[in-house]
Amino acid sequence: MTGYEARPIEPAVLKELRDTDDAGRPCVPYTEREGGSPLRCCLRGVEPGERIALVSYAPLRRWAAATWARPGAYDEQGPVYIHAEECEGPAAGGNRYPFARVGALRTVRRYNADGHIVGGRLLEIPADPSRGFDEAFAEAFADPEVALVHVRAVEYGCFHFEVRRPQG
C-alpha cells in the first residue's frame, strides 16, 4: 500500500459551502434526476433522487489558509457537486482513486508549499487505475518541492480530488 490518499472536501468546509460557496453565492440544493455526477464530499457518483448542490469551491485557497501559503494568481475556484445535507463521507474500503474511468484523461497538477504550480502531467487512466495513479503520484512527489497534487478532469477542468505529500 502506498501513502497516497484521495482527500474529500473536509466536513467543516462542506458545512460552509452548504451555506455560502467560495464565490459568495448561497447554496441552492436540488434533487438529482439522472445521477452519475461526481460528489466531492464522499468521492462517489450521485444516485438518482439524492439531494445535492453545485457549488463553487476553491481547493487551493482552502489549503493555503491552513498552511499560510500564498498562491496568488494560482488561486482558482470551480464547480463541484456535494450532498445538500451532511453525509457519511467516503465509504470505508471504497475506491482509492474515485472517478477513475478507464481511458478518461486527467491532469495531475503539482503545487509547491507556496501554492504555485510547479508542473504536472496528463494521465490517461489505464486498465489498472490504482497503479496508474500510484505511478503519477510517485513521479510527482519524487520532486521534493511538491507539497500537494490536484487531480482534475481534462474535459471540463473539474477538480476531482487532492493528494498531499505522504507523511513519514
User: What is the pLDDT of the chain when averaged over all its residues?
Assistant: 94
pLDDT tens, residue by residue, 11-52: 999 999 999 999 999 999 999 999 999 999 999 999 999 999
pLDDT value for 94? 72
pLDDT tens, residue by residue, 79-123: 999 999 999 999 887 778 999 999 999 999 999 999 999 999 999
**Contact by Cβ (8 Å): 15, 145:** no
Cα 147 from Cα 159, distance rounded (Å): 17
**Contact by Cβ (8 Å): 118, 69:** no
pTM flag (> 0.85): yes
